[in-house]
């Protein structure tokens, strides 16, 4: 049996970017009052009128079971409508649904298609997932250079797992020339954000690096952080 989850703060957050006006005010009031039937009706009305944000928010509500009965197929319906209007977050979520086979048949190629559209608009999660898909050849031909490209873009937006994986690519010479200094740099950056595996890899690599190499890697890491991870 599908569960019904009620979390007013989440609904308010979903509703906030929707649109301004009387209906939006009514939606906030309905959420605060716990009147989720009214809230769903307001969102659905906007979604059916073609509002992409409403379509995305409604899709998320069905995906998460927030104020509605959880329903993956209904979520996919609304994500697709928003995605076809170019809504980046909806495109990313639709990619996730295809990746996981939720509400649709599992299809890595379709997942990649929607990730690419979202990634081109700067969605960091989509960029990271594309890196993963290219690295392991899921839905695309395996391509380490493409994997590095997308991991790099995600890393520049602060995605810690992407920073860690770029370190791995440099350490192994996958898609880039092997470079222990840059591997150490990226693992150090990931470590500073709490990535335990990155810390272990960095510390192991330190044992085979010279003091001057470690000093250079430390310098690069400081510079990279100061640049907000851009152009590292």
pLDDT computed for residue 44 by the predictor? 86
pLDDT computed for residue 68 by the predictor? 84
Residue 190: band (very low, low, confident or very high) from pLDDT cuts 50, 70, 90: very high
**What is the C-alpha separation between 230 and 232, in angstroms, rounded?**
6
Q: Is 207 helix (H, G, I), strand (E, B) or coil?
A: coil
pLDDT computed for residue 27 by the predictor? 61
Residue 54: band (very low, low, confident or very high) from pLDDT cuts 50, 70, 90: confident
**What is the C-alpha separation between 207 and 201, in angstroms, rounded?**
10
- So where are the chain's domains? 1-87
pLDDT computed for residue 8 by the predictor? 41
Q: What would the mean pLDDT of 169-197 be, rounded to a whole number?
A: 97
User: What percentage of the chain carries pLDDT values higher than 90?
Assistant: 74
Q: Name the pTM for this structure.
A: 0.86
Residue 113: band (very low, low, confident or very high) from pLDDT cuts 50, 70, 90: very high
Residue 22: band (very low, low, confident or very high) from pLDDT cuts 50, 70, 90: very low
pLDDT computed for residue 29 by the predictor? 63
Of 59-68, 90-99, 205-214, which gets the smallest average pLDDT?
59-68
Q: What would the mean pLDDT of 40-62 be, rounded to a whole number?
A: 88
Which residue would you say has higher pLDDT here, 60 or 21? 60
DSSP summary character for residue 105: -
Q: In the predicted model, is pLDDT for residue 23 greater than 60? A: no
Q: In the predicted model, is pLDDT for residue 201 greater than 80? A: yes
Whether residue 158 contacts residue 186, with contact meaning beta carbons closer than 8 Å, is answered with no
Which residue would you say has higher pLDDT here, 42 or 136? 136
pLDDT computed for residue 159 by the predictor? 96
pLDDT computed for residue 124 by the predictor? 96
**What is the C-alpha separation between 153 and 175, in angstroms, rounded?**
15
* Chain mean pLDDT for the chain: 88
Spatial CB neighbours of 178, under 8 Å, sequence gap ≥ 6: 170, 171, 172
Q: What would the mean pLDDT of 79-98 be, rounded to a whole number?
A: 96
Polymer length of the chain: 232
């Amino acid at each position: 049996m599908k569960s019904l989850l009620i979390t007013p703060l989440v609904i308010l957050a979903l509703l906030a970017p929707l649109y301004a006006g009387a209906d939006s005010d009514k939606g906030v009031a309905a959420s605060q009052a716990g009147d989720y039937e009214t809230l769903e009706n307001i969102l659905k009305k906007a979604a059916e009128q073609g509002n992409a944000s409403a379509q995305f928010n409604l899709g998320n509500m069905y995906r998460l079971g927030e104020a509605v009965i959880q329903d993956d197929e209904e979520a996919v319906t609304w994500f697709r409508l928003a995605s076809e209007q170019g809504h980046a977050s909806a495109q990313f979520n639709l990619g996730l649904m295809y990746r996981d086979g939720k509400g649709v048949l599992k299809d890595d190629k379709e997942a990649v298609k929607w990730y690419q559209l979202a990634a081109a608009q700067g969605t960091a999660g989509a960029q990271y997932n594309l890196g993963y898909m290219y690295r392991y050849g899921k839905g695309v031909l395996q391509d380490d250079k493409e994997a590095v490209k997308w991991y790099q873009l995600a890393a520049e937006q602060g995605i810690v797992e992407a920073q860690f994986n770029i370190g791995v690519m440099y350490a192994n010479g996958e898609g880039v020339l092997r470079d222990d200094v840059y591997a150490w740099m990226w693992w150090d950056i990931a470590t500073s954000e709490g990535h335990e595996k990155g810390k272990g890899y960095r510390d192991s690599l330190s044992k085979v690096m010279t003091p001057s190499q470690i000093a250079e890697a430390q310098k690069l890491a400081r510079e990279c952080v100061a640049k907000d991870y851009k152009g590292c």
